[in-house]
């Protein structure tokens, strides 16, 4: 066999491998098996980053610019006493979550970019507080990453509790992919775990290791903007932005390295190669990845009987394509993708409410409710 034939075979094999890699993410279909109506719930919001439903009715909503809004019975009230927020690029006031026993203890948790601490700029912090009328009270800073940086990207910021009451939150790599994600002595590119009062759990994976950030639970992440507890297993599921392609869904495990930036299914934004590795010893593979990137933000599992055809599915917001993506999961694999809520705007968050309905936060619009047609 001559050299030209050998070269042709090599090139053809490489193209096939590349195609297989891309096609390994099931293609999204521009359709849905369920027809629905979209109802406005809260209007005239700019970047509604986080939202929670209060047991006494109504909602709390964060605006990235630094406001917490209480919404009930059609009335929006701005909550006072919010700490100073460092608003830069992707940074600002981010997610919020209620303590699992909120009815009895009243604790509200929120993440934000803060300029407090060492260095110019800001870094992601998490705080808890209680509502006293229309103001925050008993504010307690639980964790603040650092050192500060003026870079405006990758703050992470999602929050979730597990079945044992542990508090998880994410901090992105803060635009420093070469140092932060793979170094457990540095903040950034990590999922963190705390007790609800901010104490470090003694069984966190890096407790007692010299120089390590003992709040870290997993590492090697890029910019995680989705955290949700699996409704059956109790596992914490995470999604994160890749570069150009390579957004990931991961099932978070204690002490595991999820690979960024050593391994990735994406490339640099200019199309050049980021890494020649999609796997490496000691690094976890994603549960699922997107090529091309959808820029995921917010996610929820559907458990409501209101959506029988969607029950057990995972819904993920897309900033890039301005839709919600429905992922059908069988066993340990995504077998189907469908596009819903198309072209309303950049979907920043998606949650199932206590009434069983799905709510989505749309940038430049507000909060909407998805009502299936009968």
Pairwise CA distance, residues 101 & 106, whole Å:
8
* DSSP bridge partners of 338: 29, 326
Is the predicted pLDDT of residue 351 greater than 70, yes or no?
A: yes
Read off the pLDDT of each residue in 144-170 and give the average, rounded to a whole number: 98
Q: Judge whether residue 15 has pLDDT over 70.
A: no
Residue 9 reports pLDDT greater than 50: no
Fold assignment, 48-297: Neuraminidase (2.120.10)
**Cβ contact 112:164 at 8 Å:** no
pLDDT of residue 32: 65
Residues taking part in catalysis: 154
pLDDT reading at 19 higher than 90: no
Return the domain boundaries, the chain.
Answer: 48-297
Q: Does the pLDDT at position 21 exceed 90? A: no
Q: Which residues, at least 6 apart from 242, have a Cβ–Cβ distance to it below 8 Å?
A: 222, 248, 264, 265, 266, 289, 290, 293
Please report, rounded to a whole number, the percentage of residues in the chain having pLDDT higher than 90: 89
Predicted confidence (pLDDT) at residue 12 exceeds the cutoff of 60: no
**What's the pLDDT at 25?**
52
What's the confidence (pLDDT) of residue 26? 80
Closest C-alpha among 28, 40, 56 to residue 131: 56
Confidence grade of residue 154 (pLDDT, cut at 50, 70, 90): very high
- Looking at every residue in the chain, the average pLDDT score rounds to 93
**Residue 335 near residue 312 (C-beta atoms within 8 A):** no
- What's the pLDDT band for 31 if we cut at 50, 70, 90? low
Q: Which two tokens stand for residue 142?
A: 């639980």
Q: Length of the chain, please?
A: 374
pTM of the model: 0.93
Question: Does a cis peptide bond (omega within 30 degrees of 0) precede residue 174?
Answer: no
User: Mean pLDDT over residues 319-340, rounded?
Assistant: 96
In the chain, count of helices (H) and strands (E)? 2, 25
- pLDDT bin (cut points 50, 70, 90) of residue 34 is confident
């Amino acid at each position: 066999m001559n050299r030209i034939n050998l070269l042709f075979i090599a090139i053809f094999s490489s193209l096939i491998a590349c195609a297989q890699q891309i096609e390994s993410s099931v293609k999204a279909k521009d359709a849905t098996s369920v027809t629905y109506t979209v109802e406005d719930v809260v209007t005239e919001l700019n970047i509604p980053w986080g939202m929670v439903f209060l047991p006494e009715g109504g909602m709390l909503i964060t605006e990235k610019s630094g406001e917490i809004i209480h919404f009930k019975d059609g009335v929006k009230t701005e909550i006072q006493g919010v700490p100073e927020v460092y608003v830069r690029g992707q940074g600002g006031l981010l997610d919020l979550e209620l303590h699992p026993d909120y009815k009895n203890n009243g604790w509200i948790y929120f993440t934000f970019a803060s300029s407090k601490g060492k260095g110019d700029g800001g870094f992601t912090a998490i705080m808890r507080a209680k509502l006293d009328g229309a103001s925050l009270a008993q504010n307690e800073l639980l964790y603040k990453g650092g050192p500060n940086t003026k870079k405006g990207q990758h703050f992470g910021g999602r929050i979730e509790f597990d079945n044992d009451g542990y508090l998880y939150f994410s901090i992105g790599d803060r635009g420093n992919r070469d140092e932060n994600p793979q170094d457990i002595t540095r903040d950034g590119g990590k999922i963190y775990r705390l007790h609800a009062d901010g104490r470090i759990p003694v069984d966190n994976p890096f407790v007692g290791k010299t120089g390590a950030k003992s709040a870290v639970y997993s590492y090697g992440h890029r910019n995680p903007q989705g955290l949700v507890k699996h409704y059956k297993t109790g596992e914490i599921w995470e999604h994160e932005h890749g570069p150009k392609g390579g957004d990931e869904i991961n099932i978070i495990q204690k002490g595991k390295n999820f690979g960024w930036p050593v391994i990735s299914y994406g490339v640099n934004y200019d199309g050049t190669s980021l890494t020649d590795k999609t796997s490496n010893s000691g690094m976890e593979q994603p549960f699922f990845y997107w090529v091309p990137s959808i820029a995921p933000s917010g996610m929820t599992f559907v458990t409501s009987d209101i959506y029988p055809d969607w029950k057990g599915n995972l819904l993920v917001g897309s900033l890039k394509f301005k839709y919600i993506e429905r992922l059908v999961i069988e066993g340990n694999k995504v077998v189907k993708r469908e596009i819903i809520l198309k072209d309303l705007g950049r979907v920043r968050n998606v949650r199932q409410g206590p009434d069983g309905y799905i709510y989505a936060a749309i940038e430049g619009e507000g909060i909407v409710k998805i009502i299936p047609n009968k």
